[in-house]
Amino acid sequence: MKLISLFFTALLAENIVLTKFLGLCPLLGNSRKEENAYKMGLMVVFTVVLSSFISYFFYYQILVPTNTTHLRTLIFIFTIASIVGSLEILIKRYMPTLYKSMGLYIPLITTNCAVLGVSILVIDHAFSLLETLVYSLGSSMGFLLVIYVFSTLRVKMENAPVLEGFKGTPIAFITLGIIALLFTRYGL
């Protein structure tokens, strides 16, 4: 029961995008089309779960025993960059149409602070390995949920009567802010 609660907390109540404002660059950059948002979300799910799993082992099997926990951010970034680099090579080789549609946004996952944020949060909360996997899956699925829903709204906003100065990114930020207000713990 605790794991189910942890999953839904990470997915909704403490959504990584809407409550911690992590992952805004890929959210805004790759949410103009629903299909691209979905693909980016899936790649983030894969990357977050795998990088959190590997980072967990690096932290507890190497950094803690050698008393070098101060290197965690560096190790986590290296882990994420390695996973994304490998993912990019595999997608380019085996899924060229996906690579062409995503192109620039695949390496952007490396700089997605949501990916690094989840790895750091699981260590800060001292989760077990199973809790790490559940929290990572919930957080990344929360990112997927937000980027997909936000992309459907952006598609509708393109045709909506919006004042000229608010078209594009400004109305996207306003909309994201309104959605984030729904997820605040304190309300208005």
Q: What is the dihedral of CA 114, 27, 46, 36, to 10 degrees?
A: -170
Residue 136 placed within a domain:
yes
Q: What's the CA gap between 16 and 5, in Å, rounded?
A: 16
Which pLDDT score is estimated for 29? 75
Range of the domain at 145: 2-182
Which pLDDT score is estimated for 39? 84
Q: How confident is the model at residue 113 (pLDDT cuts 50, 70, 90)?
A: confident
Q: What's the CA gap between 69 and 63, in Å, rounded?
A: 5
Q: What is the mean pLDDT of residues 13-25?
A: 86
Residue 188 placed within a domain:
no
CA distances from 1 to 11, 15, 41, 127 (A): 15, 19, 26, 15
Q: Which two tokens stand for residue 55?
A: 């980072």
Q: Please tell me the least confidently modeled range out of 5-14, 28-37, 68-77, 110-119.
A: 28-37
Q: What is the dihedral of CA 63, 48, 27, 154, to 10 degrees?
A: -160
The answer, yes or no, to whether residue 24 has pLDDT greater than 70, is yes
Residue 48 placed within a domain:
yes
Which pLDDT score is estimated for 33? 81
Residue 83 placed within a domain:
yes
Which pLDDT tens digit goes with each residue over 155-181?
888 888 888 888 888 888 888 888 888
Residue 187 placed within a domain:
no
pTM to 2 decimal places:
0.87
Which pLDDT score is estimated for 185? 61
Residue 134 placed within a domain:
yes
CA distances from 140 to 23, 34, 116 (A): 10, 17, 11
Q: Please tell me the least confidently modeled range out of 25-29, 56-60, 150-154, 178-182.
A: 25-29
Which pLDDT tens digit goes with each residue over 34-89?
888 888 888 889 999 999 999 999 999 999 999 999 999 999 999 999 998 898 89
Residue 123 placed within a domain:
yes
For the chain, the first-to-last Cα distance in angstroms comes to 31
Number of domains in the chain: 1
Residue 135 placed within a domain:
yes
